[in-house]
């Protein structure tokens, strides 16, 4: 792949990831004081879709160093993010506006097991991809560990009633995504001047 195309991919992924992080962190911070509102539900519903380009770019950047673990983790994480993103969209833009009785009636049959399964696939994918980042050592260790540990917890604990814990988790996840996005952005300029895919600017 031409280096200019690769650099553009990294930059686009970094921008989308930074925006995704903001759309998670800012509503999470606001909800610590206001609780869930229509204004906070909309960005939280859209944030997972913007994380997809970030995940793709992160995988491309570390692929040579991550090996087979990285490829498997990226596929699992993409599937999990798609499932979890769909659940987040439905929860924040559909169920949020329905009466509790209607929601209780809707959460029957295979719905709840499917939601739990989506969260489980997402959690496993994040843990594996985080482990691949830690092993590859292409991105900073702190957000890599955060991706491996905090995002799997986020998958299940966000189903709890709104609290300072869930708000803090949203802020923490947003910070992790923005940190990784910034690290990815910093790699893009150096890619245009080298054919070595493993080179990381100092």
Q: What is the pLDDT of residue 194?
A: 40
Q: What is the pLDDT of residue 14?
A: 96
Dist. CA 56–CA 17, nearest whole Å: 10
Q: What is the pLDDT of residue 109?
A: 78
Q: What is the pLDDT of residue 79?
A: 97
Q: What is the pLDDT of residue 190?
A: 53
Dist. CA 29–CA 8, nearest whole Å: 31
- Which residues in the chain show pLDDT less than 50? 1, 191-202
Q: Residue for token digits 């292409």?
A: 138
- pTM confidence score: 0.86
Report the chain's terminal Cα–Cα distance, integer Å: 23
């Amino acid at each position: 792949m031409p280096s200019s195309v690769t650099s553009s991919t990294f930059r686009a992924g970094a921008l989308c990831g930074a925006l995704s992080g903001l759309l998670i962190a800012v509503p999470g911070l606001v909800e610590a004081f206001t609780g869930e509102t229509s204004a906070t539900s909309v960005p939280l519903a859209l944030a997972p879709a913007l994380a997809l380009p970030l995940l793709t770019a992160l995988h491309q950047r570390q692929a040579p160093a991550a090996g087979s673990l990285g490829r498997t983790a990226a596929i699992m994480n993409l599937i999990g993010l798609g499932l979890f993103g769909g659940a987040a969209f439905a929860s924040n833009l559909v169920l949020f506006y329905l009466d509790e009785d209607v929601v209780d009636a809707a959460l029957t049959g295979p719905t709840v097991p499917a939601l739990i399964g989506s969260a489980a696939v997402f959690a496993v994918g994040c843990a594996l991809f985080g482990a691949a980042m830690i092993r590859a050592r292409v991105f900073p260790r702190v957000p890599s560990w955060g991706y491996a540990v905090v995002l799997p917890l986020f998958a299940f604990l966000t189903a709890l009633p709104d609290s300072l814990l869930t708000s803090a988790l949203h802020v923490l996840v947003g910070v992790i995504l923005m940190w990784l996005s910034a690290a990815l952005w910093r790699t893009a300029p150096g890619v245009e001047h080298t054919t070595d895919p493993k080179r990381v600017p100092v």
